[in-house]
Chains A and B, each alone.
Chain A
Amino acid sequence: MAGILEFAPAIVLLPFLSFLIALGAGRYMPKGGALAGIGATAGSFLLAVATFVAVSGGQTYNQTIYTWAEGLDAVDLTFGLLIDPLSAMMLVIVTLIAFLVHVFSLGYMNDDGQTGLPRYYAGLGLFTASMLGFVVADNLLMAFMFFELVGLCSYLLIGFWFRQDGPPSAAKKAFLVTRFGDYFFLIGVVAVFATFGSAAFAGPDAFPVLAEEALAGEHSVNTFLGMGEQAWFTVVGLLVLGGVVGKSAQFPLHTWLPDAMEGPTPVSALIHAATMVAAGVYLVARMYGFYALTPTTLAIIALIGGFTALFAATMGVVKKEIKQVLAYSTISQYGYMMLGLGAGGYVAATFHLMTHAFFKALLFLGAGSVIIAMHHNENMWDMGGLKEKMPVTYYAFLSGSLALAGIVPFAGFWSKDEVLYETLIHGLGGSPILLAAYAMGLLAVFFTGFYTFRMVFLTFHGEPRSETARNPHGVRWNVKAPLAVLGVLAATAGLVNMVPVEKLFGIKGIDFLHQFLDGSFDSLNAHHYAELIPYSSGYIGGEAGTVAIGAAVSLGLALAGAGLAYVLYNVPEPVEHTEKLGSIKTVLYNNYYQDEYQVWIATGVVQPISRVLDKFDQGVVDGVVNGVSSVSLFLGSRMRRIQSGVVSNYAALLTLGLTALLLGLGLIGGWFA
């Protein structure tokens, strides 16, 4: 298995190959190019697993494979591969989910008789290739480039049904909002190059290591705008954070994700649940050595994470369409990961990233199969009673919901609980911000439990409330198989890192993820980060006590939320209970008017400014140019009047000219003196 890492580039290139095949020969292939996609992702998945095994055996790989721009006496810009536990794990996640989504697409797109399939599978192939390219990137520039390519693919795939009005504008919005975030990220990349001279994540001149040494005073790096090193690193961290917030749909820049549901559901599952949205969090994890040095940035990340978790969870409570609920749930769950990263819980956040990828992809695919059954009607109030007719989908969906809500044996519980645990102990260790974030995170657990089970009960339980719900459209194996696989994963993924069990019952050695993430380069592994983070941990009633209390509280809240949903919605004829919320209802319906103010900024502020500028440009700047030309035209027309056509006038002018000339000469020549 030693040489397997040499094949790492193949993981990225296989999907790219499928992109080319689908684009070029998609029309002529059966299933519109899907087989190429499935084959490629399957191949990548196997390679990824092999890489995972090799990496867990302690190998790492950090090689520059392509020089993009070779600076003669300036720094070279290169592409390279960095395979370490973090990226190996992410490789497996991305390739697995991409493979399952490709299979699911057979059911969702092909059986549904969709047209333009080559374009769809080409988009998926390009997306998978770009995402994998981003995961294995060894420097910030390559990461940024694939970050943007992923944004492009999400634009193409959201806007797949471009013949209607909805998807293209949703795609445009998604691209623009993430582009706004990427603007800050690009400044961050350029700032890192300018400050450290290199943007590598690992290796001798890795910029986190350089930053660490600079702070320790070993050597100086050039800072800008007259800031000290600590302040400048914070600014650079925040700049890169801009891109992360944009791509992972965190608080200010989250409005594009719910609209991105306009795209086909497999796309939502792959892109807007598991992989692309994870890119932001993965990036922070990738350069965590840099973030760990700046406490203010970590605090900001934690705050954004906590607030987004609560903020999105509240909005998820009142949504009608199943995919909208899942969209807000995604935003909320990524809030948790950011909270984990902000609170110094590097392993916790990565763990939640992994488990969330599985159960959220599962939920989306489940929703997809429900949508197939309901002939593309996503409104939960027209569903109900699908439990008996779609058992496989139901049980997979249930497993995913339990994981999402964070009920004990399921994956969600372990990862979310560890995130909250890390936040709690570091909060108690003397940083009130983390406590506030912890409180928000905890409150969000309740809402998460509530909206998850509200969704489950409305969709699957009770009496079917519409004709299509009574006899739903059947789904074939290609939908059920991925659901089953993900269902199992959502249930068992938690076993990888059962920290509470280890702490409470003292069974050492079962936190495999911690050990796994420790096997990286010395500057990239988990305990190095643990040393770097500026938090110390405080406990109430010893370590075991805090674990127990934390787990109990979060489980209790989740069950409470689920219970409330059970009471309200698990009745044969559930009815909307939103009037109880009173005025809050309208606020929640309109998602705190976030969409409105962002759209207002674009159309209400920027467009009028550009129109005014345009008028100014036409009127004044162009006016000046035309003015100058009109002056010469005016002078011309005046001069023309001298040519009256009458000969005597010319004779008179001639005589006057002569006399004037004579006078002039006389004066100069002194004739008159």
Chain B
Amino acid sequence: MTTKPQLKLGSHLVPGLAAVALFVVMAVVFLGASFPNPQGFAEGANLTASIGYTMFNLDFGSVPGESMLVAFEIIDLVLVAALAGAVLLARREGESGQMRTILTDGGRELKRTLFDDEEGDH
């Protein structure tokens, strides 16, 4: 019979208390702090356009904002680097990355890589 998901309580949750403690402290601080009213945006200001313009250091937008062109380029590099990193990490040793052709060798290659690898992998 299927069992419904239960909440797994127990001592492993103790470190979590640290998070709760952090929350309590932050909450107390924030509640204690007094903020003046937010300036808010002009009525009907076109936010998305302004964001777009700040991306390319153009200041046509109705809402002011700092120019983010450099950040934009850097984030591009970061994404490319992350992609390359992920592929690198995920690749197994020994594969030179050439295309895996349809297995016409009766599965010997796959067996070797799967099972022989098992011993090699540990």
Taking Cβ atoms with an 8 Å cutoff, the residues of A that contact B are: 648-649, 651-652, 655-656, 658-659, 662-663, 666, 671-672
Apart from the given pairs A648-B15, A659-B21, 7 other A-B contacts in the complex at a CB distance below 8 Å? A651-B15, A652-B15, A658-B22, A659-B25, A662-B26, A666-B28, A671-B32
Given contacts A648-B15, A652-B15, contact A659 B22 (CB under 8 A): yes
Q: Are A652 and B28 in contact (CB under 8 A)?
A: no
Q: Are A672 and B28 in contact (CB under 8 A)?
A: yes
Main secondary structure of the interface of B (DSSP, over half): helix
Q: Are A659 and B28 in contact (CB under 8 A)?
A: no
- Measured between beta carbons, the chain B residues less than 8 angstroms from A671 are 29, 32-33
- Measured between beta carbons, the chain A residues less than 8 angstroms from B22 are 655, 658-659, 662
Shortest Cβ distance from A648 into chain B, in angstroms?
6
- Measured between beta carbons, the chain B residues less than 8 angstroms from A666 are 25, 28-29
- Near A by CB (< 8 A), chain B positions 55-102 give none
- Measured between beta carbons, the chain A residues less than 8 angstroms from B29 are 662, 666, 671-672
Shortest Cβ distance from A70 into chain B, in angstroms?
82
Shortest Cβ distance from A651 into chain B, in angstroms?
8
- Whether, in the assembled complex, B7 has its beta carbon less than 8 Å from a beta carbon of chain A, the answer is no
Neighbour of B25 across the interface among A649, A651, A662, CB < 8 A? A662
- Whether, in the assembled complex, B42 has its beta carbon less than 8 Å from a beta carbon of chain A, the answer is no
Docked Cα-Cα span, A666 to B22, in Å, equals 13
- Whether, in the assembled complex, B19 has its beta carbon less than 8 Å from a beta carbon of chain A, the answer is yes
Shortest Cβ distance from A655 into chain B, in angstroms?
4
- Measured between beta carbons, the chain B residues less than 8 angstroms from A651 are 15
- Measured between beta carbons, the chain B residues less than 8 angstroms from A662 are 22, 25-26, 29
Interface string of B12-27 (1 = CB under 8 A from A): 0001001101100110
Question: Can you list 24 A-B pairs with a CB-CB distance of less than 8 A?
Answer: A648-B15, A649-B15, A651-B15, A652-B15, A652-B18, A655-B18, A655-B19, A655-B21, A656-B18, A656-B21, A658-B22, A659-B18, A659-B22, A659-B25, A662-B22, A662-B25, A662-B26, A663-B25, A666-B29, A671-B29, A671-B32, A671-B33, A672-B28, A672-B29
Main secondary structure of the interface of A (DSSP, over half): helix
| Chain B interface residue number, banded | 10 to 19
Q: Which chain A residue lies CB-closest to B23?
A: A659
Shortest Cβ distance from A133 into chain B, in angstroms?
89
- Measured between beta carbons, the chain B residues less than 8 angstroms from A656 are 18, 21
- Measured between beta carbons, the chain B residues less than 8 angstroms from A663 are 25
Q: Which chain B residue lies CB-closest to A670?
A: B32
Shortest Cβ distance from B27 into chain A, in angstroms?
11
Docked Cα-Cα span, A663 to B26, in Å, equals 9
Docked Cα-Cα span, A672 to B32, in Å, equals 7
- Measured between beta carbons, the chain A residues less than 8 angstroms from B21 are 655-656, 659
Docked Cα-Cα span, A672 to B28, in Å, equals 7
Docked Cα-Cα span, A133 to B17, in Å, equals 95
- Measured between beta carbons, the chain A residues less than 8 angstroms from B32 are 671-672
Q: Which chain B residue lies CB-closest to A649?
A: B15
Docked Cα-Cα span, A662 to B21, in Å, equals 11
- Measured between beta carbons, the chain A residues less than 8 angstroms from B28 are 666, 672
Shortest Cβ distance from B51 into chain A, in angstroms?
32
Docked Cα-Cα span, A671 to B32, in Å, equals 7
- Measured between beta carbons, the chain A residues less than 8 angstroms from B25 are 659, 662-663, 666
- Near A by CB (< 8 A), chain B positions 17-51 give 18-19, 21-22, 25-26, 28-29, 32-33
Shortest Cβ distance from A227 into chain B, in angstroms?
81
Docked Cα-Cα span, A663 to B29, in Å, equals 9
Docked Cα-Cα span, A117 to B32, in Å, equals 107
Docked Cα-Cα span, A655 to B15, in Å, equals 9
- Measured between beta carbons, the chain A residues less than 8 angstroms from B18 are 652, 655-656, 659
Shortest Cβ distance from A664 into chain B, in angstroms?
11
Q: Which chain B residue lies CB-closest to A648?
A: B15
- Measured between beta carbons, the chain B residues less than 8 angstroms from A659 are 18, 21-22, 25
Docked Cα-Cα span, A671 to B25, in Å, equals 11
Docked Cα-Cα span, A656 to B29, in Å, equals 17
Docked Cα-Cα span, A118 to B74, in Å, equals 95
- Measured between beta carbons, the chain B residues less than 8 angstroms from A652 are 15, 18
- Measured between beta carbons, the chain B residues less than 8 angstroms from A655 are 15, 18-19, 21-22
Docked Cα-Cα span, A655 to B17, in Å, equals 10
- Measured between beta carbons, the chain A residues less than 8 angstroms from B33 are 671
Shortest Cβ distance from A652 into chain B, in angstroms?
4
Shortest Cβ distance from B39 into chain A, in angstroms?
24
Shortest Cβ distance from B14 into chain A, in angstroms?
9
Docked Cα-Cα span, A663 to B24, in Å, equals 11
Docked Cα-Cα span, A655 to B22, in Å, equals 7
